[in-house]
A and B are shown apart, each in its own frame.
Chain A
Amino acid sequence: MANLTPREILDRVRDLAQRSGAAEAEAYLEIVNFTEARVRQGEVEFLSQSAVQGLGVRVFVDRKVGFSYTTDLRPNVMDELVRRTIALAGQNAPRDENRLPDEQLPALPDLEIYDAAVAAMRPADLIALARKTEDQAFAADKRIQATRHAHAGVAVGEVHFTNTFAPYQTYRTTTCSLGVTAIATDGTVKREGGFDDRRRIFLDLNTPERIGRRAAERAAARLGGATIATTNAPVIFEADAAASFLAGLLPALNATNVIEQRSFLAGKPNRQVASPLVTIVDDGLLRRGLGTHPFDGEGVQHRRTVVIERGVLVKFLHTATTARRMNVRMTGNAVRSYDTLPAVGPTNFYLQAGASTLDKMVSETPRGLLVTELAGFGIDTVSGEYSQQVAGRWIEKGVLGASVEGVTVAGRLDEMLLGIDAVGKDLEYRSAIASPSIRFRQLTIAGS
């Protein structure tokens, strides 16, 4: 704890694990200082400021995996947990591939994931930003008479890492976020619309003006929404909805799920699984990216991995263990926190920008649906089925018409991906998973 440095804590538990029977050991310490402010109707409604500190220790005993985590960094607590984990791991099944990666990390250019301006922000700065954002939402449209809240936050993180093969390493990150959920009313009903932004670098953040205005526009656009008759039609997903859909596809590209037969994309490598307009990339080295780090959760260098290239499935996302099990190269996609085992996950995961624009897609659509919001669950990446609640605008003769809600869109993922017939230019990295707007040739829209 306070009298040990992070490096001393890590070296100590790693050495103890190795002395206590672990052939290999890995220690990961995460410290995050964060501040969050929420403002509603101009009043500070919530203010929180704290530090998270947690340690995770992974051990390999005869090719069996044990893991423990704690927020209690008293040395004897850590020691006891590690000893017990080693004893418990003995009951597992061995697997030859259960070993630490032993890759050497090359020197990296500055990834620009730390901004001193973010680290220097104080509660008063955040309150001012949130107030301004909420004010802008109110100013944008007189039908906005309330918000759920406007929020502003910063997080300043440190990761400290070591394992049996890798010397101690560390990196720092910053994250700042700003957003508002506006509530529009026409006197009888209320509808929400939100707009959020998260960035590593303060100057990358959208302005309170744009965030407030976009949230207000979204909320107001939903007023008067009604269901429509059940039909088949082309469906456009606006960028944020497309990003949410893309996030839902991730489990199908996770090598662990592929190995365990729980992905509809298992057995499809090198096949055309999507339209040639679709290229999907995971890039852990994207400068200023929210998913960018110098190395992943088990010390493997992040890299840029093309997952789907012009519609062809090229590569799944891997940890060191899954890469060994499938006999392919690692992709540096072990994602974790101190309290989870490294597991396959995305870094910066995005669908590459295309040539179209949202306006063009709408004007090309004689009759269809523009989806601006997705709600709830919908993607089954095992069976490859899709069905989800959506809201948006009806398109008639290439023109946006009435607000639509109370409908679902559904289809089979294989047909949907192959049927993407337009990809927009509007890719924006407001979260670690991002997409431009896309259009599906045809989905089933269920309503009345």
Chain B
Amino acid sequence: MSIDEPISRRVFLHRGALASAAALAAAVIPGVPWIPGSGDADAAIMGIGQELRDVLNFETCNRILTEALARGGTFADLFAEQRFTTKIALDDGKIESVTYGYPRGAGVRVDRRQQTGYAFSDEVSFNALLDAARVASAIVENQSPVTPIDLTRRDVAPAFMLSSPAPLMNETTKFDFVRRLDAAARAVDPRIVSVRVEYTDDVRDILIATSDGSYYLDRQYLVNISCTPIAVEGAERRSGFGSLGGRVDEPYFSRRSPEDVAREAAEQALVLLQAGPAPAGAMPVVIGPGWGGVLIHEALGHALEGDGIRRGTSVLTGKLGTQIGSPLLRVVDDARVPFGRGSYSIDDEGTLGQRTVLVDRGILQSYLLDRQSASILGGKSTGNGRRASYRNRPLPRMSNTFIDRGASDPTSLLSGIKKGFYAAMLGGGTVETTSGNFNFAVREGYWIEDGKITRPARGAVLIGNSLETLRRLEGVGNDLYIEPARGTCGKDGQMIPVGVGQPTVRFSAITVGGTAI
């Protein structure tokens, strides 16, 4: 066994159906997971969701769904999932650890109007899921049984095709990427004293069977590599951050070089060593393209999610068709962005991922709906029913959410600002959808003085209120970029990958949480 040919690539297995394939490899053990490796031959042999399908065929799914609706209910589904994840962590110049993860299980959900019952099993077996269906149905009391419609396998129109999904790269390549990022970041400057690199990938097979008669199978690939260098000079200590990945092919890494990402992250840490205090108070703010879309994710996206709308708890309840922002504002949620981290062909309850215009010329066009919120509000799901895993019920969530391209030259957006703030790279943010009060951290920020970007500023949060801030949008650049590599959104304890994006944008006033008065 050489390093170039790790065993994990050769051995694949599953039980039952492919007994003849067992002859191909002496190491085949029934019931052992297929583990991705280079070359998709294994995948072709296995077929998407094969191991799940062996247990959850039309007949068993139908019996489970029948049990789920035995006490009544408006909708039920069965969601099964099998994932294989690889993690490689490097710190202090050394690969510290490698992790293989193989979570697998299935859950049953029963809806009755605003009510949801949910139960799951870590064991994928007919009996365990029949029990789960019974437990999930306990939410419904004393109603007549409902008969699920017979299942039909439906096609999943792919959002985009991958010929050589990155998670299937051989492990030597994955280790190399990690070491290359580390070396490139360190080479930038001796003040880079420490670098942490994390590689994570994920191959996720899902199976969805719904009480309205649909049966879907899909496979989703995801990869992320992040790099966090630390720069130290005297008593000052700053971190930089860079990442690459998405639902990408292997050739992506020749277009977006790991070395470039590491260098940018190291340079960010070095710039921040020179940073002085950030300004404090309300002022004009310009936010850079790409990851800057965290703003629209927080300031608008969450408040449009259908659960808050159907309950009437969101500040945007009842605002459809009304002016909620500047006429320059156009916002899109698009699950079919090629290679996007938040992209999917099908959501986690059996609706095809789609492109939805949320806001056009400042007027609210659509909410983000899952099946349950669509059935209560009237209309169709927008394909935004997502879940972190089989242990969770689906909730209305964003996919890739971005402010659409505008007309302005990005550099022109600085002109006329006497004192303001430029956010070159953001951190994370949060929002309270009841009030619309939101915040997001700035990782790399600068003062704007007399229409020019001048000094770097220390970390600060920016805060605002959705309805006020969206009206203060006064410039949108023509440099739209949708960040494919990073973005993990948490809601109700469920963490899911999302994408955000925007061109350079300018607001007349946002409160900057610095210390320089």
Closest Cβ of chain B: how far from A20's Cβ, in Å? 12
0/1 string, A329-352, CB within 8 A of B gives 1:
000000000010100000000000
Query: Which chain A residues border B96 with CB–CB below 8 Å?
Result: 65, 92-93, 95
Q: Which of B93, B98, B459 contacts A387 (CB 8 A)?
A: B459
In the complex, whether A190 has a CB less than 8 A from a CB of chain B is yes
Provide the bound-state CA to CA distance between A256 and B89, in Å.
13
Cβ A189 vs Cβ B435 within 8 A: yes
In the complex, whether B70 has a CB less than 8 A from a CB of chain A is no
Cβ B437 vs Cβ A406 within 8 A: yes
In the complex, whether B311 has a CB less than 8 A from a CB of chain A is yes
Closest Cβ of chain B: how far from A153's Cβ, in Å? 11
In the complex, whether A183 has a CB less than 8 A from a CB of chain B is yes
Query: Which chain B residues border A232 with CB–CB below 8 Å?
Result: 517
Dominant SS among interface residues on chain B: strand
**Given A67-B97, A408-B511, A448-B282, A44 and B115 contact (CB-CB distance below 8 Å):** yes
Besides the known contacts A1-B123, A77-B32, A262-B239, 18 further A-B residue pairs in the complex with CB atoms under 8 A apart: A43-B115, A46-B393, A48-B393, A50-B107, A73-B123, A88-B100, A92-B94, A189-B435, A231-B517, A375-B437, A376-B429, A377-B430, A383-B239, A385-B459, A387-B278, A388-B513, A389-B513, A447-B281
Query: Which chain A residues border B278 with CB–CB below 8 Å?
Result: 387, 410
Query: Which chain B residues border A406 with CB–CB below 8 Å?
Result: 437, 463-465, 511
Cβ A377 vs Cβ B441 within 8 A: yes
Provide the bound-state CA to CA distance between A444 and B236, in Å.
21
Cβ A43 vs Cβ B100 within 8 A: no
Closest Cβ of chain B: how far from A85's Cβ, in Å? 5
Cβ A91 vs Cβ B3 within 8 A: yes
- Contact residues, A358-414 vs B (CB, 8 A): 375-378, 380, 382-385, 387-389, 391, 405-412
**Given A72-B33, A183-B313, A408-B511, A384 and B237 contact (CB-CB distance below 8 Å):** yes
Query: Which chain A residues border B282 with CB–CB below 8 Å?
Result: 447-448
Cβ A51 vs Cβ B434 within 8 A: no
In the complex, whether B210 has a CB less than 8 A from a CB of chain A is no
- Contact residues, B10-47 vs A (CB, 8 A): 11, 13, 29-33, 35
Which 8 A-B residue pairings sit nearest by Cβ, starting from the closest? A408-B513, A93-B94, A446-B280, A389-B439, A376-B430, A376-B439, A230-B281, A71-B122
In the complex, whether B92 has a CB less than 8 A from a CB of chain A is yes
In the complex, whether A104 has a CB less than 8 A from a CB of chain B is no
Q: Which of A74, A89, A190, A446 contacts B98 (CB 8 A)?
A: A89
Cβ A44 vs Cβ B31 within 8 A: no
The count of chain A contact residues (Cβ–Cβ below 8 Å) is: 86
Cβ A444 vs Cβ B514 within 8 A: yes
Query: Which chain A residues border B35 with CB–CB below 8 Å?
Result: 80, 84
Cβ A410 vs Cβ B515 within 8 A: yes
Residue of A nearest to B179 (CB): A93
**Given A50-B121, A387-B278, A376 and B440 contact (CB-CB distance below 8 Å):** yes
**Given A84-B100, A190-B313, A383 and B236 contact (CB-CB distance below 8 Å):** yes
Cβ B461 vs Cβ A378 within 8 A: yes
In the complex, whether B391 has a CB less than 8 A from a CB of chain A is yes
Cβ B175 vs Cβ A382 within 8 A: no
- Contact residues, A237-283 vs B (CB, 8 A): 256, 259-262, 264, 266
In the complex, whether A81 has a CB less than 8 A from a CB of chain B is yes
Cβ B171 vs Cβ A47 within 8 A: no
**Given A65-B96, A69-B103, A44 and B171 contact (CB-CB distance below 8 Å):** no
Cβ A339 vs Cβ B101 within 8 A: yes
Provide the bound-state CA to CA distance between A293 and B434, in Å.
38
0/1 string, B491-517, CB within 8 A of A gives 1:
000000000000000000001111101
**Given A45-B114, A87-B6, A387 and B94 contact (CB-CB distance below 8 Å):** no
Provide the bound-state CA to CA distance between A412 and B427, in Å.
18
In the complex, whether A66 has a CB less than 8 A from a CB of chain B is yes
0/1 string, A145-189, CB within 8 A of B gives 1:
010100000000000000000000000000000000001000001
Residue of A nearest to B92 (CB): A260
Q: Which of B135, B138, B311, B463 contacts A40 (CB 8 A)?
A: B311
- Contact residues, B457-495 vs A (CB, 8 A): 458-461, 463-465
Max chain A C-beta neighbours (<10 A), residue from B118, B194, B435, B440: B435
Cβ B104 vs Cβ A389 within 8 A: no
In the complex, whether A324 has a CB less than 8 A from a CB of chain B is no
Max chain A C-beta neighbours (<10 A), residue from B91, B228, B311, B437: B437
**Given A123-B138, A378-B441, A387 and B99 contact (CB-CB distance below 8 Å):** no
Provide the bound-state CA to CA distance between A208 and B228, in Å.
45
Closest Cβ of chain B: how far from A428's Cβ, in Å? 23
The count of chain B contact residues (Cβ–Cβ below 8 Å) is: 94
Cβ A47 vs Cβ B117 within 8 A: yes
Cβ A77 vs Cβ B102 within 8 A: yes
Provide the bound-state CA to CA distance between A444 and B458, in Å.
14
Residue of A nearest to B123 (CB): A1
Query: Which chain A residues border B281 with CB–CB below 8 Å?
Result: 230, 446-448
Cβ A261 vs Cβ B117 within 8 A: no
Query: Which chain A residues border B194 with CB–CB below 8 Å?
Result: 260-262
Query: Which chain B residues border A40 with CB–CB below 8 Å?
Result: 114, 311
Provide the bound-state CA to CA distance between A48 and B394, in Å.
13
Cβ A80 vs Cβ B3 within 8 A: no
Query: Which chain A residues border B116 with CB–CB below 8 Å?
Result: 45-47
In the complex, whether B177 has a CB less than 8 A from a CB of chain A is no
Q: B residues bordering A, Cβ < 8 Å?
A: 1, 3, 6-8, 11, 13, 29-33, 35, 91-105, 107, 114-124, 132, 135-136, 138-139, 171-172, 175, 193-194, 196, 228, 230, 232, 236-239, 272, 278, 280-282, 311-313, 315, 391, 393, 427-430, 432, 434-435, 437-441, 458-461, 463-465, 511-515, 517
Cβ B230 vs Cβ A70 within 8 A: no
Provide the bound-state CA to CA distance between A256 and B435, in Å.
39
Q: Which of A48, A192, A389 contacts B119 (CB 8 A)?
A: A48
Q: Which of A88, A383, A387, A447 contacts B514 (CB 8 A)?
A: A387
Cβ B463 vs Cβ A408 within 8 A: yes
**Given A47-B138, A80-B29, A91 and B171 contact (CB-CB distance below 8 Å):** yes
In the complex, whether A327 has a CB less than 8 A from a CB of chain B is no
Query: Which chain A residues border B119 with CB–CB below 8 Å?
Result: 48-50
Q: List 27 A-B contacts (CB under 8 A).
A: A49-B119, A50-B118, A50-B391, A51-B122, A53-B122, A65-B96, A72-B33, A73-B122, A73-B123, A76-B30, A76-B32, A79-B32, A84-B35, A91-B98, A92-B97, A192-B432, A230-B280, A261-B237, A266-B237, A376-B429, A376-B439, A377-B441, A383-B237, A387-B460, A388-B439, A389-B513, A446-B512
Closest Cβ of chain A: how far from B83's Cβ, in Å? 10
Query: Which chain B residues border A146 with CB–CB below 8 Å?
Result: 311-313
In the complex, whether A68 has a CB less than 8 A from a CB of chain B is yes
Closest Cβ of chain B: how far from A157's Cβ, in Å? 14
Residue of A nearest to B93 (CB): A93
Provide the bound-state CA to CA distance between A366 and B240, in Å.
40
Provide the bound-state CA to CA distance between A262 and B237, in Å.
8
Max chain A C-beta neighbours (<10 A), residue from B92, B119, B237, B438: B237
**Given A44-B115, A387-B460, A448-B511, A67 and B98 contact (CB-CB distance below 8 Å):** yes
Closest Cβ of chain A: how far from B45's Cβ, in Å? 16
Max chain A C-beta neighbours (<10 A), residue from B440, B465, B513: B513
In the complex, whether A52 has a CB less than 8 A from a CB of chain B is yes
**Given A377-B429, A378-B441, A410-B513, A84 and B461 contact (CB-CB distance below 8 Å):** no
In the complex, whether A191 has a CB less than 8 A from a CB of chain B is yes
Cβ A87 vs Cβ B8 within 8 A: yes
Query: Which chain B residues border A85 with CB–CB below 8 Å?
Result: 98-100
Query: Which chain B residues border A405 with CB–CB below 8 Å?
Result: 435, 437
